[in-house]
Structure 1
Amino acid sequence: MTRRITGRLVVSALAISFAGEAMATEWNVSLWGKRRAFTEHVHKLAELVEEKTDGEFTMNISYGGLSNNRENLDGISIGAFEMAQFCAGYHPDKNRAITVLELPFMGVSTLEEETAVSHAVYDHPAVTEEMAQWNAKMLMTSPMPQYNIVGTGEPRDELADFDGMRVRATGGLGEAFRAVGAVPTSVTSSEAYQAMEGGVVDTVAFAQHAHLSFGTINEADWWTANLNPGTVNCPVVVNIDAYESLSEDERAALDSSVPEAIDHYLANYGELLARWDSVLEERGVEKVMISEEQLAQFEEVGGAPIQQAWIEEMSGQGLPAQELFDLVKSTLNEQRGTN
């Protein structure tokens, strides 16, 4: 009799143990490259979620082990992993609505402004609907400063110098460079160094962290400090089925951690920007300033015409393009009104 009771107790204890293990939630997260300023918010998010759920909700962050960067959205759509980061310019046909955020010369100046306009667009029904086609839910942006280019040889500080220049630039940035005679190519960030080293491109357009992380700054003789034609937009998304499968407490932990993760990202990136001049000096990279006259010409040719072309093309495809464009502008004005 005692053995029977003891046996039942052991079975019950094991059942409770297995039940506890089954209740834990573990997500796989697909990133690329290596840990850097661009991914710090994902790490912070994972840390916060684990803390808030007492270790019951954890995230395994992989850099290239689950998918390559151009296929992260596809991986989300089939549930190959639960969370991923991607950039709109890698496959603009799959995420047309958010490409409004990659249009050149939209007037965004700071990371805080970039965050505000991105999240406003992410919340638009057209974006929600388009992302749902990929079983993806927008979670947070990866705000980046205005792109600038590095190159070798003599600095290109006039628009005439851009004629025939092979530049790594995606999305609307690529179109802006094309408008002034350059030849854009959309090699991924991971391929940019090899493309520059091998002479496939003459210049590379990146935000500061990427020039560091992917080594293009090590090949550079010069960097444009104030070209600032725009940036790319790289959201973090989650698989809708995985998100809806979370318990209420897990979902609350995830959602509430997004603002904290973004704040951490902004603070961390701010430190990088503060020491950027010293990075250039250490590597012997010349800081090139484009004249106001040349900048105005670039914006005239590569700004409004490309914006209008995007509005017409996307409207023709059934998207509320003008509404999305106006949303960026109105959000930007609101954000500046609060500063």
Structure 2
Amino acid sequence: MDRRKFVKSAALGAGALTLAGCDNGNDRAADSPSAPAVIRKQRKLKLVTAWPKNLPGLGMAPERIAKNVFEATDGAIDIKVYAAGELVQAFDSFDAVSTGAADMYHGAEYYWQGKSKAFNFFTSVPFGLTANEHMAWIYHGGGQELWDELAVQFNIKPWMAGNTGVQMGGWFRKEINTLDDFKGLRIRMPGLGGEVMRLLGAAAVVLPSTDIFTSLQSGAIDATEWVGPWNDLTMGFYQVAKYYYWPGFHEPGAALSLGINTDVWNDLTKAERRIIQDACAAENSRNLSEFNAFNTRSLRILTEQHGVQLRRFSEEILLELGRLSKIVLREASESDDMTKRVYDSFLVARSDGAAWSEISEEAFWQARRLSMTET
């Protein structure tokens, strides 16, 4: 028996015992008219996304949240999920929720950096936080409070609702051997990573997911980053670009988000708000575990079945990317007071995370590699 059925059965049993205990031995209760049934009004909500329909990982996260909320509320909250383009375009989902045209969105906060540069930090920034570090910042380092303060200006209540983990560096139609190879390169890269590309001399553009493949195929762009092997295999980029670079310096742990219209949020009961919050929190671990599991399998398919060639950015390139990233982050922090406060909090979280990772996960990975070395 699943837990929810068990709880219902237990509640019904407890109710029966309570009624039995109150019975005074006559049949007055049986003769009295039944109490009117409580009719619960179903709330139907529209959730727009920045993802193609049925896209693994990114696209299924909001579907799973909607399903979990429906079941946990016994159908009292019915969330209909709309893929990008079905109700609004991918990059219009924030405004749709802000104005009340839709109730919720699922996307990536750096898509809204035109509203405030601070939004970038709640998805991922170059050489930023890993998935675990990001969750530590949001849940225990003041990140959620800053995010709330930022988003409420746009009539949005945000929650973290998924994470891709470390991403790949991108798909390139030609090899990238030196810094000069970035000059004039037309690359799809959103967020502050795109700003770093521009400083390298590349022409960085932002495209919705639905337009990336055709743009790469037609030659409108020369390269693109997306997510990682699992999603990238589904998108078919291997058909038009063979060089697959790592590491993904620009998004070391890209957090996904669920944004809710504040009027809708405030109209929910305390219990309903908790259910939605918990559904989002559950998606962080579920989504991240999916990417970790399926990226490995998908990368094997890409290299062994489709001839994709893995390439690592050289140390020279990574050093320059790191130098330029510091400039980009600092300049972003100077755009407004809110972004400066978010940036300062982020720096503390990154410093704390790096100090602990050095003697925990990083040290363990090094030790594990040694233990697995054949002698």
The aligned residue for residue 73 of structure 1 is: 94
Aligned with residue 343 of structure 2, among 321, 325, 338: 325
- 1:129 maps onto 2:149 in alignment: yes
Q: Offset of 1:309 from its aligned partner?
A: 1.4
Aligned with residue 237 of structure 2, among 180, 191, 216: 216
Q: Evaluate the alpha carbon distance shift between residue 311 and residue 178 of structure 1 in structure 2; reply closer, same or farther with a 3 A threshold.
A: same
Q: Evaluate the alpha carbon distance shift between residue 95 and residue 183 of structure 1 in structure 2; reply closer, same or farther with a 3 A threshold.
A: same
The runs of 5 or more residues in structure 1 that have no matched partner are: 1-8
The aligned residue for residue 12 of structure 2 is: none
- 1:83 maps onto 2:104 in alignment: yes
Q: Offset of 1:242 from its aligned partner?
A: 1.0
User: 221-230 or 63-72: which moved more?
Assistant: 221-230
The aligned residue for residue 27 of structure 1 is: 45
Secondary structure at the counterpart of residue 229 of structure 1:
coil
Distance 2:76 2:123 in 1: 37
Q: Offset of 1:288 from its aligned partner?
A: 0.6
Letter in 2 for 1:329: L
Letter in 1 for 2:271: D
User: 113-122 or 206-215: which moved more?
Assistant: 113-122
Q: Offset of 1:290 from its aligned partner?
A: 2.0
Tell me the percent identity: 20
Q: Encode CA deviations 1:167-206: one digit per residue, 9 max, x unaligned.
A: 0112211111111111111122211111111111000012
Distance 2:322 2:171 in 1: 19
Structure scoring higher RCO (CA < 8 A, sep ≥ 6) equals 1
Distance 1:272 1:178 in 2: 32
Aligned with residue 76 of structure 2, among 49, 56, 59: 56
Number of corresponding residues:
317
CA contact (8 A) 1:82 1:239 kept: yes
RMSD: 2.7
The aligned residue for residue 278 of structure 2 is: 256
The aligned residue for residue 5 of structure 1 is: none
Instruction: State the TM-score, normalized to the length of structure 2.
Output: 0.76
Q: Encode CA deviations 1:273-324: one digit per residue, 9 max, x unaligned.
A: 2224313212211001222233112322x21111221122x2xx33251x32
Q: Encode CA deviations 1:21-57: one digit per residue, 9 max, x unaligned.
A: x612222111131222113332332222222222222
The aligned residue for residue 284 of structure 1 is: 307
CA contact (8 A) 2:105 2:259 kept: yes
Q: Offset of 1:243 from its aligned partner?
A: 1.2
Q: Offset of 1:101 from its aligned partner?
A: 4.7
User: 229-238 or 130-139: which moved more?
Assistant: 229-238
The aligned residue for residue 294 of structure 2 is: 272
Instruction: State the TM-score, normalized to the length of structure 1.
Output: 0.83
Matches within 5 A, 1:169-180: 169-180=189-200
Q: Evaluate the alpha carbon distance shift between residue 147 and residue 324 of structure 1 in structure 2; reply closer, same or farther with a 3 A threshold.
A: farther
The aligned residue for residue 250 of structure 2 is: 229
Q: Evaluate the alpha carbon distance shift between residue 278 and residue 246 of structure 1 in structure 2; reply closer, same or farther with a 3 A threshold.
A: same
Distance 2:238 2:142 in 1: 32
The aligned residue for residue 266 of structure 2 is: 244
